[in-house]
Structure 1
Amino acid sequence: MLAKPYLTAHYEPVPDELTAHDLTVRGSIPPELSGRYFRNGHNPKPGDVPTHWFKGAGMIHGLRLRDGRAEWYRNRWVRTPALDGAPLLREDGSMDLTASIAGTHIIEHAGRILALQEANLPFEMTPELDTVGPYDFGGKLTTAMTAHPKQDPVTGELHFFGYSPIPPHLVYYVAGPDGVILRQQIVEGAGPSLMHDFGITENYVVWLDMSVIFDHAEQSGIPYRWSDDYRPRIGILPRSGGAVTWFDVEPGALLHVSNAYEDESGRVVIEGPRFDRSAWETGWKWWIGAPGYPPSPNGGALQHRYVLDPQVGRARETMMDSLITDFPTINEDYIGRRNRYSYAVAFPGAGLEGVGILKYDNDSGTSTLAATGAGRIPGEAVFVPAAGATSEDDGYLLTIVGDAASASSELLILDAHDITAPPIAAVELPRRVPGGIHGSWIED
């Protein structure tokens, strides 16, 4: 039997939960880092062999930092019905939105910590990573919720959506800073495509209706496939409501968005790692453990920029870099606004000596790679502003790095201004942390 890549080596699940206190720190944790770093990922229980990476049970790995100390580490499964085998579809064919894997992301909004998986309701967690239960915004969330909501840094509103292979394909929600859903809207014209992420600008919401669409014949348990026949589009919807303006684009798929914003000419810009058909189908082999899978989950996504011009109704697409990357992040104070810097994980296969953290400078068009070393695989780098920050990159990047040789992991704290400098601090973790997905810094 072919070994599943998401169950072996760097991605091998851990078999249990543990708690450790007073972790060893090399260097000095900046005193303003007072809060919790949580990172989600797929970690099936022992004996469970999911047919797709994305179907493994969600597990949160968390660290509590305060007063220059790493007070604790703990890892906990998100205790959902799916953890004990409950299916997404009930016997009558209806969806059980509580049967979540809850393994993609974890965020905080309005005082609630939410573990997310896009086919289901969020699951609320405590600050100590105990599971509270499914959360539906007081009954107002009646669809699934994306794992990539966007909090507007100016208004404090949380923008998110639910998508479905059956109509209505796309429902857009806005929750206020207090967590109360203010409005929802069915987005007319959207199709049955895989909408993992989206973007917001000051005046628009940006929708990705592209080349990977629902296909019930897909047998991996995630029923989506690349389609050469589907018309790929990107849409912009006024945040005030109204109709979507759709722009035709070349065949492609974006799982993750770096950022979106409006330029000085009123054009809408959206950036992120773009898959072509070959890259998507190569990555899919890794995600399902098919013969010929690549060495990493990324089959070849390359950073692209789309410029959508409402005045002429056309989109321009540009490849920004030839390095294979994923898990883009920015200083979230710039969500929806023009950002100069973004960060990503660079993967093997791009002509590099292993993986590392990449920093893009959108003003100069240059990038800087901070290699993490042979056999040392970093995860998504989360930006945290420094106290009294005066520039966009004045802050820190937090990333969990796994070391294949020692089967150990550590949390690195990097200077976001100079990512090639030695780490400001490294927190030694009490166990190997499997490669995962997305996380957040939750400030006290």
Structure 2
Amino acid sequence: MPIHSARSAVKPYLTGHFTPVTDEITATELTVDGTLPPELSGRLLRNGHNPKPGITPTHWFLGSGMVHGIRLREGRAEWYRNRWVHTPALDGAPSATDHGPDLTVSTAGTHVIEHAGRLLALCEANLPFELTSELDTVGAYDFDGRLRTAMTAHPKQDPVTGELHFFGSSPFPPHLVYYVADTKGQIVHSAEIPGATASLKHDFAITRHHVVFVEGNVTFDPAADRSGIPYSWSDRQPARIGIMARQSDAAAPARPVRWFSIEPGHLLHVANAFEDTRGRIVLEGPTVDREGFQLSWNWWTGAPGRGTEPVARSYTRRWVVDITDGSVDELIVDDLPVEFPTLNEDYLGAENRYHYAVSFPDEHGFGGYGIVKYDRTTGARRIHHAGDARMPGEAVFVPAAGATREDDGYLLTVVSDLKQDASQLLVIDASGLNRIALVHLPHRVSAGLHGSWIPDSAFDGPGR
């Protein structure tokens, strides 16, 4: 399959907000407008696809990963640094070998998390890559040999137990393997999930008592290999939600998964899932229909027929699954195009009132960029408008010290400003969406994907 294009045509994912950064730099004592809360002591890390100069990947997702970091402490922005994740793929190594796929040949460009004192750069088709606290690459990480598949870029850390839940998916059997790692970073449970298909599984959810998998209409398609990522929409692929009781016992066999049919569509990112007072599973997240997926896929590959944005028809949907009678109620919650949902992760897997997302223009180019706050109790929607030609990234929630309410905290997002050819770290109040501070970064940061707030206390773990 192709990885790099031989054609010189400019791809949309290499222009505008997505123009790649061309070098690695370190800058100290950054300028701050406003006042940074002193309790913000740690690092905001954000990952994204950023091919090296001269490289034109055939799909945006095939661009090498670059992690950007901003260090905050005692009301100061101490440093900014950006580093490519130095995997074999960065130097052009092929992923296919005579012995099968090489799981170390990764873009490592989708997400960056911390668990058990390790920083891990993630890409769902490969092994994680460990980084130092200053973003230098340590190398591929396989959980001491216990991880033998790829790892999702969207693991879930249970806020109650501290366990890390994740999965590995593949277009070839076994299609889905579920893992649990304990608070020390050791995999204590793994099991193949029977009945799973080759549907593209990018994200999933946990509740207090269940694991929730989602299979949409986007599935493996060997004929769709021109972009290097052979997936396409299929009406023959059933859309469904799979629900399985949670377990951490390494010796226990895999528990059965119940599959529930849902309306056609595809979900990339989960906002949250929980069990309501009636024991039903409530799941929310932005989804696309067939047209929305094709507009996005055309944008990601640079094909004709694309929209102005890669998520122009992505609308928040809610499913309510009654596991007693087998019924599923679903509805589109809002008609605003959004992606990158986040929440106060103390409420991950439990009933939450609020979640946040990034808004985008629709498929006709109408609307604007902003940070959205949804109130599930009242149905209200509030938007912090980013401003003309200013595109915010995923808004990471950081709880305030001594927080007493779910929305007591801060949202941190890196903004790409095309008019100024610059970027800033925007800190806003998660309650009222008011701006608190703006940290000026030394160059414009290309639009990316996911990231994490890593408090200073996390760097007391192994290898730090």
Q: 2:394 aligns with which of 380, 386, 389?
A: 380
Q: 1:263-282, aligned counterparts within 5 Å?
A: 263-282=276-295
TM-score, normalization: structure 2?
0.94
Identical-pair percentage:
61
Task: Summarize deviations over 1:371-416 as a string: whole Å, max 9, x none.
Answer: 1111111000000000000000000000001111110000000000
Q: Does 1:47 align with 2:54?
A: yes
Contact between 2:321 and 2:329, CA under 8 Å: does it hold in 1? Answer: yes
Task: Summarize deviations over 1:203-249 as a string: whole Å, max 9, x none.
Answer: 10000112110001112111110001111110001003510011001
Contact between 2:312 and 2:361, CA under 8 Å: does it hold in 1? Answer: no
Alpha-carbon offset, residue 291 of structure 1: 1.6
Q: 1:146 aligns with which of 152, 167, 172?
A: 152
Which residue identity is paired with 1:394? D
SS in 2 for 1:424: strand
Which residue identity is paired with 1:428? H
1:404–1:233 distance in 2 versus 1, CA, 3 Å: same
Equivalent residue for 2:84? Answer: 77
Equivalent residue for 1:310? Answer: 323
**Which sits farther off after the overlay, 307-316 or 116-125?**
307-316
Equivalent residue for 2:413? Answer: 399
Q: Give the count of matched residue pairs.
A: 441
Equivalent residue for 1:64? Answer: 71
Q: Does 1:177 align with 2:183?
A: yes
Give structure 1 regions of 4+ aligned residues with deviation exceeding 6 angstroms.
none
| Rounded Cα–Cα distance in structure 2 between residues aligned with 1:93 and 1:138 | 21
Alpha-carbon offset, residue 352 of structure 1: 5.3
Q: 1:38 aligns with which of 36, 42, 45?
A: 45
Equivalent residue for 1:197? Answer: 203
Task: Summarize deviations over 1:178-199 as a string: whole Å, max 9, x none.
Answer: 1011110100000001000000
Contact between 1:251 and 1:276, CA under 8 Å: does it hold in 2? Answer: yes
| Rounded Cα–Cα distance in structure 2 between residues aligned with 1:353 and 1:69 | 34
Contact between 1:281 and 1:299, CA under 8 Å: does it hold in 2? Answer: no
Which residue identity is paired with 1:118? E
Contact between 1:2 and 1:289, CA under 8 Å: does it hold in 2? Answer: no
Contact between 1:209 and 1:233, CA under 8 Å: does it hold in 2? Answer: yes
Contact between 1:283 and 1:294, CA under 8 Å: does it hold in 2? Answer: yes
Q: Does 1:293 align with 2:306?
A: yes
Q: Does 1:230 align with 2:243?
A: no
Alpha-carbon offset, residue 24 of structure 1: 0.2
Contact between 2:319 and 2:329, CA under 8 Å: does it hold in 1? Answer: yes
Alpha-carbon offset, residue 93 of structure 1: 5.5
Equivalent residue for 1:217? Answer: 223
Alpha-carbon offset, residue 293 of structure 1: 1.8
| Rounded Cα–Cα distance in structure 1 between residues aligned with 2:108 and 2:135 | 13
Equivalent residue for 1:99? Answer: 105
Alpha-carbon offset, residue 299 of structure 1: 3.3
SS in 2 for 1:156: coil
Q: Does 1:431 align with 2:433?
A: no
Equivalent residue for 1:254? Answer: 267
Task: Summarize deviations over 1:354-379 as a string: whole Å, max 9, x none.
Answer: 21010000001111111111111100
Contact between 2:201 and 2:214, CA under 8 Å: does it hold in 1? Answer: yes
Alpha-carbon offset, residue 86 of structure 1: 1.0
SS in 2 for 1:383: strand
Unaligned runs of 5+ in 1: none
Equivalent residue for 1:5? Answer: 12
| Rounded Cα–Cα distance in structure 1 between residues aligned with 2:283 and 2:142 | 29
Contact between 2:119 and 2:132, CA under 8 Å: does it hold in 1? Answer: yes
SS in 1 for 2:309: coil
Contact between 2:30 and 2:77, CA under 8 Å: does it hold in 1? Answer: yes
Equivalent residue for 1:322? Answer: 335
Task: Summarize deviations over 1:251-278 as a string: whole Å, max 9, x none.
Answer: 1100000001000000011100011101
Equivalent residue for 2:404? Answer: 390
Equivalent residue for 1:16? Answer: 23
Alpha-carbon offset, residue 7 of structure 1: 0.5
| Rounded Cα–Cα distance in structure 2 between residues aligned with 1:316 and 1:168 | 30
SS in 2 for 1:225: strand
Q: 1:332-343, aligned counterparts within 5 Å?
A: 332-343=345-356
SS in 2 for 1:294: coil
| Rounded Cα–Cα distance in structure 1 between residues aligned with 2:194 and 2:122 | 25
TM-score, normalization: structure 1?
0.98
Task: Summarize deviations over 1:280-325 as a string: whole Å, max 9, x none.
Answer: 0011111001123212121311000011111111211111000000
| Rounded Cα–Cα distance in structure 1 between residues aligned with 2:208 and 2:67 | 32
Equivalent residue for 2:460? Answer: none
| Rounded Cα–Cα distance in structure 2 between residues aligned with 1:52 and 1:435 | 15
Equivalent residue for 1:354? Answer: 368
Which residue identity is paired with 1:12? T
Unaligned runs of 5+ in 2: 1-7, 248-253, 457-464
| Rounded Cα–Cα distance in structure 2 between residues aligned with 1:109 and 1:238 | 23
Which residue identity is paired with 1:410? Q
**Which sits farther off after the overlay, 238-247 or 428-437?**
238-247
Alpha-carbon offset, residue 3 of structure 1: 2.1
SS in 2 for 1:281: helix
Contact between 2:312 and 2:360, CA under 8 Å: does it hold in 1? Answer: no
**Which sits farther off after the overlay, 266-275 or 293-302?**
293-302
Q: 1:118-137, aligned counterparts within 5 Å?
A: 118-137=124-143
Q: For the aligned residues, what is the CA RMSD? A: 1.0
Task: Summarize deviations over 1:31-82 as a string: whole Å, max 9, x none.
Answer: 1100000000000001100000000000001000001000000000000000
Contact between 1:280 and 1:299, CA under 8 Å: does it hold in 2? Answer: no
